[in-house]
Each structure stands twice: as C-alpha cells, then as structure tokens.
C-alpha cells in the first residue's frame, strides 16, 4: 500500500490560447459579433462599389456595349442585394450590437447564442449570394417584381439564390434584433429607466422592433416565391388565383422599413456625436426619441408610396402620401433639435462630427426629393426615373455611408483603443462629398427633366442625357475613391492610429466608462445611473472631489 | 419635356410645387447646419452656452412642420385630382369620340407594345391617335409588369398581368411623342420603347383603313402561300 506512488497534479502552464480567428468565429460576445457584422459590412461596401462602377462604366456613354444586358441586370441585382442586405442593415446592426449593450451598462447580451446564430445566418446568406456568381446570379433587379421572378420568365437559379440569400440574411437580422431587444429590455444598469437610455440605444430598440415586424413579412413573401418557383405554386402568378401585386405590397413593406432603419440608425448616431462634440446634452431628447418611433411607424406604413404607378385605388395612394408627407414632422423635429444643439455649443469639428454634418446634409437632400416623389401626380412623372435613384442614394448613402462613417469614427477608439487618422479622414470626407454630388446630382436632372428611366442597361443618344450620365459616371469614381480612403484609414488605424484613452471624445453615455477596447465582461463596476448622461455626472463628481480639500472621504461607489 | 395633355399640365405644376417644397427644406437645413458649425466653432477652453430646455420651442417647431406638411398634402391632392380629371374630346377632335373617349388596347409584352384599335386593326411599337381627342388606353400585359410611360402625354401607369389599368389623355398638338418602359422586365428592357404619333382625325381614319387593309393583305398572302403549299 505504501509503495504506490502518490497522486500528482500536473500543470502544463496556462491553457493554450486558441488562434484569434477561431476565438472570433466561435464567440457569442456582442462585441465580437458586432465587429464581424461591421467588418463584413465594410468589406461588402467595397464590393458594392465595384458593382456600381461597372454599371456606371456601362452608362457613361449612350448605347454602350461594355456590359451585355444580362450582365448589367446581374450587376444591378447583386448591387441592390449587397448594398441593402450585406452593407446598410448589417452596418447599422453591427454598430447597434457593439455599442448599445455598452451604453446601457450591460455585461453582455441576454441571448448571446441567438445573436451568434443570427450572425452565422447572415454569413451564410452572403455566401449564398456570392456563390451565385459561380453559376447564374439573379437578373431580377434590386427588388425583382413578380411575375418576372416566376419560373416561366427567369428559369435559371438566379432568383432562387437571391431569395435564399436575402431570406437567410433577414432571418439572421431578426435573431440579432431579438437578442438586442431582450438585452435592452432586461439588462439596463441600475437606475437607467427608458427615459434615461442613450438615444443610440433607444434607436437600437426601435430598429429591432422594426426588423421583428417587417422581417417576417419579407420572409413570408420569399417563401411564397420559392413555393411558386419550385413547387408549382401560384401566389404571384397571374390567373389561377395568383396576384402579382401581392409581391409588391409585401416586399415594399420590408424595403420601406429597411430604409427607415438605416435613417434611424444614422440620425441616432449623429445625435450622440452632436451632443459629444458640441459639449452639451441633446436638446429635446424626449422629442427626438419619440420622433424616431414615429419615423419607424409612418415610414413603414408609407410602403405604397413605391406603387403609385401600379393599378391600386387613388385612395390608397393618398393614404401612402399622407404617411410620407407626415414624415416631415418627425424628421423635421430630429433635424431641428440636432442643429439647435450645435447652435450655441462649443463645437469641436473633429472627424466624427464632420461626417455627421455631411450625413445630415445628404439625408436632407435625399428626403426632400423623396417628398416630391410622394406627391401622387408628381410621383407619376418622377418615379421609375433616375431621379428616384438619385433621391434614394442621397438618403441612403447619406445615412449608411456618411452616417455609418461618422459612427465608425466615433466608436473606433472604443473598439480598437486607437483613433482613426484625422488628416486622411478629412481628405476622404471632402472627396466622398464631392463624389456624391457629382455622381447623383446630374441624375436628378436626367430623371426630372428628361425622364431617363431607371434600371436600364443603356440609354439612347439624342435623349438629352449624355452629359448628365458622363458626369455621373466620373462622379461615382470620385465617390469610390473617397470611400476607399476611409476603408484604408480604418485598416491602417487599427494598428497604427494614435492611441486613444477610454473617453477620447468626452461622450455622455456609459460605453466611455469601459476600457478601450472593453474587457469581455464590459465593466468591473457599474455606477447608479441618475440621469440621461451618466458620464457627464461622473466627470462632474470627479471634478467636484478633486477641487475640494482632500479631507473628504473617498466615496465607496462611483456616483453618476 | 413639355406637357401636351391637360393631365400632364397639372403634373408639371405639381412638380414645380414639389421642387419648391424640396428646395425650401434643403436650403433651410443646410444653411442652418453651415451657420451652426461655422459660428460656434470652439476655441481653446470654450464652454457651451447654457440653454433653457423649453417645451414651447418644440411645440412651435412641430406646429410649423405640421403646417408645411398639411400645405404640401392639400396642394398635392388638389393637383392630383385635376390631373385625374378625364379630358373630353374637342370640336377639332374625332367626331365619333365626342361622348365616350376613343378606347385603344395597349398590351405590353416582352419587349414590345401592341396597340389594338376599335376596328380590329393593330400596330406594334407605334400608336397613332387623333389630335384633340380624348383617348383611353386600356393597359394589359401578357407576361410581366411593364410601365407605359410617355411623359409628354400622361403619367406613368403599370400594365400588370391579370389587371386592366386605364390612362386617359388628350394630345393638343400633332407630332410624335416617345417614351420608354420604366419597369425592369428582363433582358431587352431598355429596348422596349414606344412612340405616339398624333395626327389629324382624317389622317387617323385613313391610317386605320390602311392598316386594316395591309393586315388583311398580309394575311391573305400567308393563307395563299399555305394553300399553294409554298410554305408549311
């Protein structure tokens, strides 16, 4: 008995660190998932730009033969799906997912595995969309209208790949939205009532609701489309009880909702940036928060605004117009309060604010022209012309690219611990702004004055649009160069940017209390939240304490 | 682009109203933005001005915006209703279309428009109509969604399979008006154009007779070829 060796505990050092990519790919942490969405979105922005440039090359001169009609339609379909499902929505969701749990002082999300599955589904959707390049991508356009999408008219697998890809992405977005909403509902820091939630986190909740409402509508429509194509269904086929218009209603509900989501994201991010860089809290916080909800509701209810030329009753058109014209009030109030916050503030014109101001300007131009599109009889002239292309691009490039870049510059120090290069950022901003104006202002003229139609693979000589299109093509190259500069800036600054502190901008909300980059558990200690701007309170408490004699006992808890 | 029908006159007016409304929004927002960031650029150690966070200013802003939106909405309805009014045939127009508009079927198919006239004559691509006459097009589609779009004469209207959509116009001047389909309908979508040739009522009648005779002649020839077994 005694000659048996004693049990031994063997330690081979610390557990082996798994490779970085494996950690990232298997993580359910909202910060990792948010960075995957954000990084992926910026990558797909680059790909969308290439597709846009190919189309603009084709449209540089009249009756060009650079791209065949089929190739052009494929580029158009890929561009639309990439810009909406792989760039704009995941960019917004990625930043929401990264920043909102930090802003509400949460140590993680409520349903992390659900979010992980959601991001995985999005990656799968992106893979399916681009795997389509191996055989035949969709030829149906940005929103492929039934019955063109029926098997009889587009018999190859392109539409199936498109429907699968967008379906997987949408399902992924819904799962991420459920996780976000549950987190925002349940995991707010002590004292953070809804009225004290930062505007960006509030927007995350509004956007999540929006996705949970409109996402399933698109999923239903896509399911019907797949049944039509693969199981002899007749949902959208004319005759046999099918209704081609049903597709338009269902798809436009989703696309209108997605449009509003991008704008809500951008305006809320800009609200945070405006407050931080003007040195004072947002004017009319409650009004802005209520307006964001109104934008989500009215904007989605205005879906028939896209169907003014379709055979629907004039009463429905007036209903759609009422909803879109009513949007003037909430959008106007948000703009009013953002600008009023700047007026009289101590404005520091750093890169995030520069991009934010650019975003507000571009969005105002886009939305103002969308207003004229919603005025029914004027819409009969303007819709389906390149004027609507220009309006949509001003609003969505303003929201997703300018607003997205503003948010990227703003939260980049939190994500990486470094700020993005300021000089390159400024050059990039002015190039992008010039590019946006050159690329899309001529299309306003070509569409409104000459009626050049949308989505066409060529235009004809002698229709008076040659110069407009040539300028637009040159402008889109300038736009692309500007955007690529910021992408390069982001990649470079991750390792080489100037080191930022934990609170480089003197922001208002709790993400600036965490380390940069934050620990996996986000916070060691959390303050009691006593107002809508806890970081301002914390700074005031610290200033208060350091200015008084040291006799005062240190407080046991951080106070906010 | 110049309006040549009562409806497009109204569309043009509303378009200008929309342009003015949009310009007001764009100018107001962008001037305020530029003013804000130029005037209040902070120097070193600058402090933001304190501010009273009143409710009254929000109500005022909301009131002004609501008034603006209501004005746009009402004007849009007024001019849309005017644009929707069905025009009637003038004394200079086709006599037989005085009570009821002249009804022509326009069928969109990939990638061509076919027009069927009341006397069973038909034409492809080119629509011939009499001047100063109310013309009602019945838009149909045999395959996918097409948009009939001749901006000088009428607003855009979709031809959706299984539905009949109507568009009424009255051309006020003889000439040829062109248009392009405006819904992506497949590969040759950009080539799907149409032309409306507006002629005098007499020329229109003559065209119908000629077209009918030509079609009959062509049919007779085909029948003859088949019967003579020169063609399968």
pLDDT digit string (tens) for B131-149? Answer: 999 999 999 999 999 999 9
Mean pLDDT, rounded, of chain B: 91
Alpha-carbon gap: B106 to the closest alpha carbon of chain A (Å): 15
Distance CA A149, CA A132 (A): 16
| ∠ CA A57-A58-A64, rounded to 5° | 130
Q: Domain residues for B73?
A: 6-41+52-84
Helix, strand, or coil (residue A418): strand
What is the structure's pLDDT at A552?
47
What is the structure's pLDDT at A529?
92
Q: Is B145 part of any domain?
A: yes
Are B78 and B100 part of one and the same domain? no
Is the Cβ of B54 closer than 8 Å to some Cβ of chain A?
Answer: no
Is the Cβ of A385 closer than 8 Å to some Cβ of chain B?
Answer: yes
Contact predicate A310/B160, CB 8 Å:
yes
Nearest chain B residue to A388 by CA distance is B182
Are B173 and B69 part of one and the same domain? no
CB contact under 8 A, A141 and B184: yes
Distance CA B58, CA A333 (A): 8
Alpha-carbon gap: B185 to the closest alpha carbon of chain A (Å): 7
**Judged by CB atoms within 8 Å, which residues 245-304 of A form the interface with B?**
245, 278-280, 283-284, 287
CB contact under 8 A, A148 and B145: yes
Exposure letters A288-308 (e unless 16+ CB within 10 A, then b): bbebbbbbbbbbbbbbbbbbb
Alpha-carbon gap: A463 to the closest alpha carbon of chain B (Å): 10
DSSP string of A275-291, one letter each residue: HHHHTSPPTTHHHHHHH
Q: How many residue pairs from chains A and B have C-beta atoms closer than 8 A?
A: 250
Q: Which of A67, A344, A370, A453 to mutate to test the interface with B (most CBs of B within 10 A)?
A: A453
Contact predicate A372/B72, CB 8 Å:
no
Are B190 and B157 part of one and the same domain? yes
Distance CA A214, CA A172 (A): 13
Helix, strand, or coil (residue A12): coil
Distance CA A384, CA A373 (A): 10
CB contact under 8 A, B32 and A283: no
pLDDT tens per residue across span A503-544: 999 999 999 999 989 999 999 988 899 999 999 899 999 998
Question: What is the ipTM for the molecules in this complex?
Answer: 0.93
Find the mean pLDDT for residues B87-105: 87
Q: Which two tokens stand for residue A162?
A: 């498109």
CB contact under 8 A, A348 and B62: no
Kindly tell me if the per-residue pLDDT of B177 is higher than 80.
yes
**B175 φψ region: left (φ > 0), alpha (ψ -120 to 50), beta (else):** left
Is the Cβ of B49 closer than 8 Å to some Cβ of chain A?
Answer: yes
Are B99 and B62 part of one and the same domain? no
Q: Which residues of B touch A458 (CB under 8 A)?
A: 190
Count of structural domains, chain B: 2
Contact predicate A504/A413, CB 8 Å:
yes
Using alpha carbons, select from A33, A55, A45, A22 the residue that is nearest to residue A183: A33
Enter the DSSP assignment of B180.
E
Q: Which residues of A touch B36 (CB under 8 A)?
A: 339, 342-343, 347
Contact predicate B69/A367, CB 8 Å:
no
What is the structure's pLDDT at B45?
67
Using alpha carbons, select from B44, B179, B167 the residue that is nearest to residue B125: B179
Alpha-carbon gap: B96 to the closest alpha carbon of chain A (Å): 28
Residues in chain A, how many?
560
Distance CA A369, CA A77 (A): 24
Alpha-carbon gap: A523 to the closest alpha carbon of chain B (Å): 30
Is the Cβ of B11 closer than 8 Å to some Cβ of chain A?
Answer: yes
Longest CA–CA span in chain A (Å) reads: 105
Distance CA B165, CA B106 (A): 10
Distance CA B84, CA B104 (A): 18
Nearest chain A residue to B84 by CA distance is A377
Distance CA A309, CA A261 (A): 25
Is the Cβ of B20 closer than 8 Å to some Cβ of chain A?
Answer: no
If one counts every other C-beta atom within 10 angstroms of the C-beta of residue A520, the result is 11
Using alpha carbons, select from B162, B126, B116, B156 the residue that is nearest to residue B142: B162
Are B165 and B103 part of one and the same domain? yes
CB contact under 8 A, A278 and B73: no
Are B110 and B77 part of one and the same domain? no
CB contact under 8 A, B15 and A73: no
Is the Cβ of B9 closer than 8 Å to some Cβ of chain A?
Answer: no
Are B64 and B132 part of one and the same domain? no
Q: Which two tokens stand for residue A92?
A: 């917004």
- Domain ranges, ordered by start, for chain A: 31-526
What is the structure's pLDDT at A548?
64
Residues in chain B, how many?
232
Is the Cβ of B83 closer than 8 Å to some Cβ of chain A?
Answer: yes
Kindly tell me if the per-residue pLDDT of B52 is higher than 80.
no
Contact predicate A383/A461, CB 8 Å:
no
Distance CA B27, CA A398 (A): 17
Nearest chain B residue to A310 by CA distance is B158
Among A317, A368, A457, whose Cβ lies nearest the Cβ of B190? Answer: A457
Q: Is B120 part of any domain?
A: yes
Q: Which two tokens stand for residue A317?
A: 């058109």
Are B78 and B139 part of one and the same domain? no
Q: Name the β-bridge partners of B170.
A: B134
Is the Cβ of B30 closer than 8 Å to some Cβ of chain A?
Answer: yes
Contact predicate B10/A376, CB 8 Å:
no
If one counts every other C-beta atom within 10 angstroms of the C-beta of residue B64, the result is 13
* Half-sphere exposure in the Cβ direction for B204 (13 Å, CA): 27
CATH code of A31-526, in short, is 1.20.210.10
- The lowest-confidence range among A264-273, A508-517, B90-99, B116-125 is B90-99
Q: Which two tokens stand for residue A312?
A: 């629907």
If one counts every other C-beta atom within 10 angstroms of the C-beta of residue A216, the result is 15
Are B106 and B198 part of one and the same domain? yes
Find the mean pLDDT for residues B218-229: 88
Task: Cite the DSSP H helix spans in chain B.
Answer: 6-39, 56-84, 201-227
Distance CA A245, CA A312 (A): 9
Alpha-carbon gap: B208 to the closest alpha carbon of chain A (Å): 29
Q: What are phi and psi of A8, to 5 degrees?
A: -125, 140
Q: Is B208 part of any domain?
A: yes
Q: Which residues of A touch B156 (CB under 8 A)?
A: 309, 380-381, 383-384
Question: Within its chain, how far is the Cα of A125 from the centroid?
Answer: 17
What is the structure's pLDDT at A172?
98
**Judged by CB atoms within 8 Å, which residues 124-153 of B form the interface with A?**
143-145, 147, 149, 151
Q: Determine the number of helices (DSSP H) and then strands (DSSP E) in chain B.
A: 3, 10
pLDDT band at B80 (very low <50, low <70, confident <90, very high): very high
Are B117 and B195 part of one and the same domain? yes
Q: What are phi and psi of B31, to 5 degrees?
A: -65, -45
Are B34 and B101 part of one and the same domain? no
Q: Which residues contact A95 (CB under 8 A, 6 or more apart)?
A: A34, A38, A265, A269, A404, A407, A408, A411
Is the Cβ of A542 closer than 8 Å to some Cβ of chain B?
Answer: no
CB contact under 8 A, A147 and B26: no
SS (H, E, C) A223-258: HHHHHHHHCCCCCCCCCCCCCHHHHHHHHHHHHHHH
Alpha-carbon gap: A149 to the closest alpha carbon of chain B (Å): 9
Enter the DSSP assignment of B145.
-
Is the Cβ of B19 closer than 8 Å to some Cβ of chain A?
Answer: yes
Contact predicate A369/A385, CB 8 Å:
no
CB contact under 8 A, B53 and A375: no
Per-residue pLDDT tens listing for chain A (560 residues): 567 777 777 777 777 778 888 888 899 999 999 999 999 999 999 999 999 999 999 999 999 999 999 999 999 999 999 999 999 999 999 999 999 999 999 999 999 999 999 999 999 999 999 998 888 899 999 999 989 999 989 988 999 999 999 999 999 999 999 999 999 999 999 999 999 999 999 999 999 999 999 999 999 999 999 999 999 888 998 777 789 999 999 999 999 999 999 999 999 999 999 999 998 899 999 999 999 999 999 999 999 999 999 999 999 999 999 999 999 999 999 999 999 999 988 999 999 999 999 999 999 999 999 999 999 999 999 999 999 999 999 999 999 999 999 999 999 999 999 999 999 999 999 999 999 999 999 999 999 999 999 999 999 998 899 999 999 999 999 999 999 999 999 999 999 999 998 999 999 999 999 998 999 999 998 889 999 999 989 999 999 888 765 544 444 555 55
Are B180 and B139 part of one and the same domain? yes
**Judged by CB atoms within 8 Å, which residues 454-473 of A form the interface with B?**
454-459
Distance CA A286, CA A15 (A): 49
Distance CA A161, CA A130 (A): 9
Distance CA A370, CA A447 (A): 13
Nearest chain B residue to A288 by CA distance is B58
Q: What are phi and psi of B118, to 5 degrees?
A: -60, -30
Helix, strand, or coil (residue A55): helix
- This prediction's pTM: 0.94
């Amino acid at each position: 008995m005694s000659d048996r060796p004693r049990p031994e505990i063997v330690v081979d050092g610390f557990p082996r660190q798994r490779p970085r990519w494996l950690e990232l790919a298997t993580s359910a942490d909202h910060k990792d998932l948010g960075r995957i969405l954000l990084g992926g979105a910026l990558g797909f922005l680059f790909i969308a730009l290439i597709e846009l440039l190919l189309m603009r090359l084709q449209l540089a001169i009249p009756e060009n033969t650079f791209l065949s009609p089929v190739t052009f339609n494929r580029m158009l379909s890929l561009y639309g799906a990439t810009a909406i499902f792989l760039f704009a929505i995941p960019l917004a969701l990625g930043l929401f997912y990264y920043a909102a749990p930090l802003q509400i002082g949460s140590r993680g999300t409520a349903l992390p595995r659900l979010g992980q599955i959601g991001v995985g589904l999005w990656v799968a959707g992106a893979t399916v969309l681009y795997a389509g390049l191996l055989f035949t991508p969709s030829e149906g356009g940005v929103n492929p209208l039934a019955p063109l999408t029926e098997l009889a008219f587009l018999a190859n697998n392109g539409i199936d790949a498109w429907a699968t890809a967008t379906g997987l992405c949408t399902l992924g977005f819904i799962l991420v939205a459920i996780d976000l909403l549950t987190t925002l509902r349940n995991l707010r820091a002590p004292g953070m009532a809804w009225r004290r939630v930062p505007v960006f986190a509030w927007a995350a909740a509004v956007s999540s609701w929006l996705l949970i409402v409109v996402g399933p509508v698109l999923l239903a429509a896509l399911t019907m489309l797949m049944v039509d194509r693969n199981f002899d269904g007749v949902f959208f086929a004319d005759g046999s009880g099918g209704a081609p218009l049903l597709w338009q209603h269902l798809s436009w509900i989703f696309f209108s909702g997605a449009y509003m989501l991008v704008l809500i994201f951008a305006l809320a991010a800009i609200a945070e940036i405006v407050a931080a860089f003007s040195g004072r809290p947002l004017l009319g916080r409650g009004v802005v928060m209520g307006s964001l909800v109104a934008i989500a509701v009215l904007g989605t209810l205005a879906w028939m605004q896209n169907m003014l030329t379709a055979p629907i009753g004039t009463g429905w058109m007036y209903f759609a117009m009422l909803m879109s014209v009513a949007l003037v009030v909430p959008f106007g109030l948000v703009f009013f309060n953002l600008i009023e916050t700047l007026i009289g503030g101590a404005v520091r014109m750093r890169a995030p604010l520069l991009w934010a101001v650019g975003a507000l300007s571009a969005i105002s131009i886009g939305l103002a022209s969308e207003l004229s599109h919603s005025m029914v009889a004027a819409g009969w002239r303007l819709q389906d012309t390149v004027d609507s292309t220009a309006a949509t691009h001003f609003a969505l490039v303003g929201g997703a690219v300018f607003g997205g870049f503003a948010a990227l510059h703003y939260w980049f120090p939190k994500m990486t611990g470094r700020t993005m290069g300021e000089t390159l950022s400024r050059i990039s901003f002015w190039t992008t702004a010039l590019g946006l104006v050159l690329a899309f202002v001529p299309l306003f003229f070509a569409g409104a004055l000459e009626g050049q139609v949308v989505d066409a693979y060529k235009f004809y000589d002698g229709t008076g649009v040659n110069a407009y299109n040539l300028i637009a093509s040159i402008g889109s190259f300038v736009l692309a160069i500007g955007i690529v500069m910021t992408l390069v800036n982001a990649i470079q600054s991750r390792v080489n940017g100037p080191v930022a502190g934990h609170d480089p901008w003197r922001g208002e909300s709790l993400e600036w209390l965490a380390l940069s980059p934050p620990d996996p558990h986000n916070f060691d200690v959390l303050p009691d939240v006593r107002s809508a701007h806890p970081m301002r309170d914390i700074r005031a408490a610290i200033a208060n304490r350091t200015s008084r004699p040291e006799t005062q006992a240190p407080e046991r808890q951080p106070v906010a | 682009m110049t309006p040549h029908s009562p409806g497009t006159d109204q569309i043009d007016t509303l378009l200008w109203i929309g342009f003015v409304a949009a310009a007001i929004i764009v100018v107001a927002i962008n001037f305020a933005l530029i003013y804000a960031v130029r005037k209040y650029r902070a120097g070193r150690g600058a402090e933001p001005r304190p501010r009273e966070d009143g409710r009254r200013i929000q109500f005022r802003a909301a009131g002004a915006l609501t008034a603006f939106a209501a004005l746009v909405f009402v004007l849009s309805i007024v001019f849309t209703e005017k644009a929707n009014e069905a025009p009637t045939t003038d004394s200079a127009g086709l006599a037989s279309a005085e009570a009821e508009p002249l009804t022509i079927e326009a069928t969109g198919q990939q990638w061509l428009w076919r027009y069927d006239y009341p006397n069973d004559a038909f034409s492809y691509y080119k629509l011939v109509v009499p001047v100063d006459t109310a013309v009602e097009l019945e838009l149909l589609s045999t395959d996918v969604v097409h948009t009939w779009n001749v901006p000088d004469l009428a607003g855009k209207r979709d031809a959706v399979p299984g539905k009949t959509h109507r568009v009424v116009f009255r051309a006020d001047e003889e000439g040829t008006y062109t248009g392009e389909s405006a819904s992506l309908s497949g590969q040759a979508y950009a080539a799907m154009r149409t032309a409306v040739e507006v002629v005098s009522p007499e020329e229109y009648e003559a065209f119908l007779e000629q077209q009918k005779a030509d079609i009959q002649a062509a049919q007779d020839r085909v029948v003859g070829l088949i019967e003579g077994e020169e063609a399968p």
